[in-house]
Amino acid sequence: MKAVIQRVTNARVTVDGEVTGEIGVGFLVLLGVTDEDTEKEMKLLAKKVAEIRIFTDENDKMNLSLDKVDGEVLVVSQFTLCADLSHGRRPSFIKSAKPDIANDLYMKFCEELRSLGVRKVATGVFGADMKVELLNDGPVTIVMNTDEWKK
């Protein structure tokens, strides 16, 4: 699984002009599911997201996790994170998981965040044309890839 985590002051996603997910302080997580991902990768990534310490403490050091700042998470599925550009200029999405598998792991990822204590987990609409708005705080953006943790 691949994720882009952005520390935000607020974020929201709209579909056809209607807000489908909205948060205050927390993370916007863009989530890509590959054809090799399983629940093992999903659980590992959810734990990392829930526990990453990228909020600043009283000494202005990145030392606080979501639970310490009463943070929220907006998770948006994004198969384009799985793009392969190794041949030519047009991306291939052959490594992206099939929609039914990707949606299942996406929903389980959101549930896993909730079970790990994230107080609010908002979502976009899987497979929809979404508009994402955010106020990136810092800016702080972290890229996670479970494939790299296997090495």
Q: Which residues are catalytic?
A: 78-80
136 pairs with which residues across the strands?
Answer: 8
- Which helix (DSSP H) or strand (DSSP E) does residue 40 occupy? helix 39-51
**Alpha carbon 119 to chain centroid, angstroms:** 16
The sign of the torsion formed by the CA atoms of 59, 61, 67, 73 equals positive
**Alpha carbon 6 to chain centroid, angstroms:** 8
Q: Whose structure tokens read 């590992």?
A: 44
